[in-house]
């Protein structure tokens, strides 16, 4: 992915709609930009849905392929990010309906990937780093224990930064419902955790993983007619 940075930099001022237009005109290599722009959002959706890292990556790849095949159906009636999130939510739902769903994350499972730094200040002391690591695991476990409907709203609003309107559109519920569910989700988390978590760091998608998703997805797209 040596040209990845150059490609993203070259088209950084282009809107999603402009990128989509170019892809539909034959520049399918630009779909990489779509992937890189949406990876963090889709990853957090998958993890918040309760899937482990490996299953989430698989679901993301399928969501991107699905989006690529139906890119011409995007009508710009909502944010493209919202459209992508809805596809990912649908992939997650379908996965849970399959009897072969064998890699579901359990309440005993800890996050084994590189854990994020959840404290506001960078901690260099090794002993404090250990405490911080354990804290990150506690927070992520707490989030995974929140009922599904509330957890997804929390993820979309707090972790992914979607607006109330975007979240409502992604989940096909009212904006009032979004606000109610978010408030209840926050209530379910202990107050001491609310003062410590850093939304952008929970379920963070590492750049290494991003490159891998791009490579796998673009490889499959290259094989499509």
111 occurs within a structural domain: no
* Closest CA relative to residue 151, chosen from 43, 25, 50, 222: 50
Are 61 and 132 in the same domain?
A: no
115 occurs within a structural domain: no
Q: What pLDDT, on a 0 to 100 scale, did the predictor assign at position 206? A: 75
Rg (CA), the chain: 18
Q: What pLDDT, on a 0 to 100 scale, did the predictor assign at position 118? A: 34
119 occurs within a structural domain: no
85-88, long-range: CB within 8 Å, 24+ apart, which pairs?
85/41, 85/42, 85/45, 85/156, 85/160, 85/162, 85/166, 85/170, 86/169, 86/170, 87/63, 88/41, 88/42, 88/45, 88/46, 88/59, 88/60, 88/63
Placement of tokens 């993983």 in the chain: 209
pTM of the model: 0.70
Question: For residue 152, what are the domain limits?
Answer: 126-194
15 occurs within a structural domain: yes
Are 89 and 34 in the same domain?
A: yes
Query: What span, in angstroms and rounded, lies between the C-alpha atoms of 17 and 79?
Result: 9
pLDDT by position in tens, the chain (length 225): 445 557 778 888 899 999 999 999 999 999 999 999 999 999 999 998 889 889 999 999 999 999 999 999 998 877 899 999 999 999 999 998 874 545 444 433 333 333 333 333 433 444 345 445 555 666 677 788 889 999 899 889 988 899 999 999 999 999 999 999 999 988 887 654 655 556 666 677 777 788 889 999 999 998 885
Q: What pLDDT, on a 0 to 100 scale, did the predictor assign at position 6? A: 72
Q: What pLDDT, on a 0 to 100 scale, did the predictor assign at position 189? A: 74
Are 97 and 35 in the same domain?
A: yes
CATH of the domain at 10: 1.10.1740.10
* Closest CA relative to residue 32, chosen from 220, 185, 162, 224: 220
Are 152 and 95 in the same domain?
A: no
Are 19 and 58 in the same domain?
A: yes
Are 51 and 140 in the same domain?
A: no
Query: What span, in angstroms and rounded, lies between the C-alpha atoms of 82 and 77?
Result: 10
Are 131 and 214 in the same domain?
A: no
Number of separate domains in the chain: 2
Q: What pLDDT, on a 0 to 100 scale, did the predictor assign at position 123? A: 35
45 occurs within a structural domain: yes
Q: What pLDDT, on a 0 to 100 scale, did the predictor assign at position 133? A: 56
CATH of the domain at 174: 1.10.10.10
């Amino acid at each position: 992915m040596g040209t990845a940075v150059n490609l993203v930099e070259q088209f950084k001022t282009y809107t999603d709609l402009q990128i989509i237009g170019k892809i539909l005109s034959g520049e399918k290599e630009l779909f990489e930009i779509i992937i890189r722009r949406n990876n963090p959002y889709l990853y957090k959706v998958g993890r918040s849905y309760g899937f482990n890292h490996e299953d989430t990556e698989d679901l993301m790849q399928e969501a991107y392929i699905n989006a690529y095949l139906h890119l011409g159906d995007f009508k710009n009636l909502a944010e493209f990010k919202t459209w992508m999130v809805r596809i990912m939510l649908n992939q997650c739902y379908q996965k849970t309906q399959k009897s072969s769903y064998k890699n579901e994350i359990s309440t005993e499972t800890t996050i084994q990937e590189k854990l994020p730094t959840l404290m506001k200040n960078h901690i260099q002391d090794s002993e404090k780093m250990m405490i911080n690591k354990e804290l990150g695991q506690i927070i992520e476990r707490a989030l995974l224990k929140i009922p599904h409907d509330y957890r997804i709203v929390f993820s979309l609003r707090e972790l992914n930064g979607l607006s109330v309107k975007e979240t409502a559109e992604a989940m096909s519920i009212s904006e009032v419902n979004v606000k109610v569910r978010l408030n209840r989700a926050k209530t379910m988390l202990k107050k001491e955790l609310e003062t410590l978590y850093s939304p952008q760091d929970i379920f963070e998608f590492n750049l290494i993983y991003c490159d891998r998703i791009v490579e796998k997805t673009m490889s499959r797209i290259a094989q499509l007619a």
